[in-house]
Amino acid sequence: MLATALWETSHIETFQVPKTGKGGKVMTGKDGKVITRARKVWINMKPVHETGEGAGRRYHNPVKVQSLPTGELKITEWNGNVFTVKTNGQYTAAVHGRVPGANPPSTPVAAYHSAAGDEHAYFGRGYVQLTWWYNYATAGVLPDKGLTLVTDPENAMVAETAYGLMSLCMRTGKGFANNNKFDDYFSGNQRDYEGARAMVNALDTESIVKVANIARLFEDVLWDARKTTS
C-alpha cells in the first residue's frame, strides 16, 4: 500500500514563494508588494486527481446521476445506457446485456441530455486513482460511505476515505481490486510484489517493476526500524 500510494500520487507542484535578498530579507517592489518567485516542489502521499483527469480514456466521459426515492441511484451514460445502482453498491442494466462504458459516442446522445440528475466524472482520484462510476459505487460501500462517492466523487480526495478505500479493497479484493487481494501475493515467506500490482493496474508493465522495487525499499526501512527499536 505504501509503494502504491507513493507511485500513484508523486507529482510536482509549483508554488509562488517570497523572494529574499541578503540576510533572508523579503524583497518588495516599488509598489510595496512582495516579490515572489516560482518554486517547484515534489508532492506525494497526498490524495490527487489523475493527470489530465482521464482525457483520452473511456471513463473520462461524465454520466448523469439521479437519486431515487428508494435510496438507489439511476446512472445514464453518454450513449443512453441506463443502470440502477443498489444501496449495496451493485448495479443492474435497464436493458439486459448492456455493460458500463461500452461504445461511448464522441458526443452525448439526446437521451443523455434529457436524463434527470447531476453530471459527474469518475476519473482517477485518491491514493489508487479510483476510476469508473461503478468502482466508486462498489468501493464506496466498504468504508461505510454508502453511495456518497457516486453522488460526490470528490469525497475520494479526503485522506481518511482514500486510505480506507485502498486498504479495504486490497485486503478484500473488492471494488477496484477485481478480486485480487493481499492474501494472493503475501503469505508466510511469499512476497510477490510484482504480482500484487494486479490489485491496481496489471497492464502497466513499467509500474509493475518500479512499484515492486519501491515496496522492497519500504520493507527494508521498516525492518531496520524494528531492529533499531527492539
pLDDT tens column, 72-86: 999 999 999 999 999
CA distance 215 to 66: 41
Non-local CB neighbours of 216 within 8 Å, separated by 6+ positions: 193
pLDDT confidence bin for 122, thresholds 50/70/90: very high
Sequence-distant (6+) residues with CB within 8 A of 188 are none
Instruction: Retrieve residue 54's grid coordinates.
Output: 482521464
Res 162 pLDDT > 70 = yes
**Count of Cβ atoms closer than 10 Å to residue 32 Cβ:** 6
Q: Please determine, for residue 229, whether its predicted confidence score (pLDDT) is greater than 80.
A: no
